Chains A and B, each alone.
Chain A
Amino acid sequence: MKKRKAFEQLLQELRGLPPDKLADWERRLDLQLSVWEIRNLRGIFYRYHDDQHIGQKRRELYADEHPGVDMKAIRRARLLPVVDSLEGNTLIHPLLTPIIRVNRENDKARAVFTSFGYEGLSIHREPPMAIWSMGYIPGGHIRQNGEWRILYGEWQRTVKADREKGWVHDMQRSNCRPKLTKEEDRKYLGQYAYRKEESRKPVPAYPDENTWEEYPDEMDTAWIHRNLEDRRDDGV
């Protein structure tokens, strides 16, 4: 196994570099470190998701100083109970397939993750329903006081199905209060969910290497739907 170079040995080599080369290396390393931090950040967000103790103090992960983030609405939503009690409820959403693009200035980032997860849902203390829950998470991020924070992060459902029935025969609506109608759910998190009578839409698009040139505003979410402009009506 290749041993890591001793710090002093690395330092020796780096001291020999011209200043602009060293600065360029540091810039490139900083972008990689940001990718790491954003993976950590999103990982923590989805650990919180399973822990639904409403009102409990937790580390703020949103960019609460950014004018585009509606912290009032976010804080209000955090205090709303969507289930009567916690027994039997679980939301396990591990993150996979990370695609993360950090801008050149290393202060904004876009990402898409996929999630393959499961849930247990008991709204009024009835025996829980076991649910398969899979989806995509397109999101924006920004540095706030040196630390990466979330600007937005939309859960885009692919599957939310009763475990026994499966995703061909069942689609559960997002658990909200008051309960959502089918149409409301479709406009909310179920817009691009799997339906056996429909063709799949290519949403979210992944952020490609030009994303920050084409959509420079950190709050612009049009990148998520950029593939839809190319779609023909027959769904091909």
Chain B
Amino acid sequence: MENEVMQEQAKRVADKILRLEAYTEIQNNMGSCVLSYNYRRPEEVLSFFSSREDATLEIADEGVFRGKDIREAITYLMPSTCEPGELMDIQLASPIIEVAEDLETARAQWVCPGIGALPREGEAPQAIWNWGVIGADFIYEHGSWKIWHFHWFRLMKCDYQKGWVQDTSLENRPNIPVHPLAEESTYHNPYTPYSIRECIPMYPRPYKTWDGEDWMLKKKKE
């Protein structure tokens, strides 16, 4: 009887160790991915993503890129070098992370303050604010936690001087053709003086195993 109790306890402890290691690795990996993005190193950004065909990347209203198209998306959506005066600096705050009971997948969210500087012809770069929420699924494969689904939900993107109420010119993409590989955006609701905030992405909750639920777009606050 005592042996059974010990066995159960050993199982619990092993599970808890792996769970806490997952928590730390997921935070480290997303932090490293964000730094790679900030430093304009696209191959490094890509290295944090799963190579599965059902992996996805969605940035604001640029549409959804899937599987091998994620490589194309990363080179399309971010510069491949840091040009003089160009800056994007995203940081991670408010982590909400749930690792599945089976330790195979995880759901995570971070609120991200950010700043940037956009180069302009013949004048100083434009300083901007660029805040968002990252919603991400991770999958454990080949010994590490990889980003499986990534969605940048824009909160606001605006001129530094004018601020987020006065300047809405950067909230939506310009009216140029979307990338031919992009599927339709699933959600885009940045701040404007006329928009209504809601709790999307939804926060992740504890779960047993991956069930395909589109938890980020759930409306029920449960």
The chain A residues found within 8 Å of chain B, CB to CB, are: 1, 3-5, 7, 10-11, 14-15, 17, 19, 22-23, 25-26, 29-30, 32-33, 36, 39-40, 42-44, 46-48, 50-53, 56-59, 86-92, 94-96, 116, 118, 120, 122, 127-130, 163-164
Which of B9, B196, B198, B222 is in CB contact (< 8 Å) with A59?
B222
The chain B residues found within 8 Å of chain A, CB to CB, are: 6-7, 9-23, 93-98, 103, 109, 111-113, 131, 143-144, 155-156, 163-166, 191-199, 203, 220-222
Which of A19, A92, A120 is in CB contact (< 8 Å) with B6?
A19
CB-based contact B143/A3 at 8 Å: yes
Which of B10, B111, B131 is in CB contact (< 8 Å) with A11?
B10
Can you list 14 A-B contacts with CB-CB less than 8 angstroms, sorted by A residue number?
A3-B144, A11-B11, A22-B10, A26-B12, A36-B20, A40-B95, A50-B197, A52-B197, A87-B196, A92-B111, A120-B165, A128-B165, A163-B163, A163-B165
CB-based contact B13/A120 at 8 Å: no
CB-based contact B10/A130 at 8 Å: no
CB-based contact A1/B165 at 8 Å: no
How many residue pairs, one in A and one in B, have C-beta atoms under 8 Å apart?
141
Contacts of A36 in B (CB 8 A): 20, 23, 97
Majority SS of interface residues in chain A? mixed
CB-based contact B18/A90 at 8 Å: no
Q: Contacts A36-B97, A40-B96, A129-B165: A94 and B199 contacting too (C-beta < 8 A)?
A: no
Give A64 to B196 CA distance when docked, in angstroms.
Answer: 29
Return the chain B residue nearest A18 by Cβ.
B6
Additional A-B contact list (7), CB under 8 Å, known A118-B164, A120-B191: A22-B6, A26-B13, A36-B20, A42-B94, A116-B93, A127-B165, A128-B193
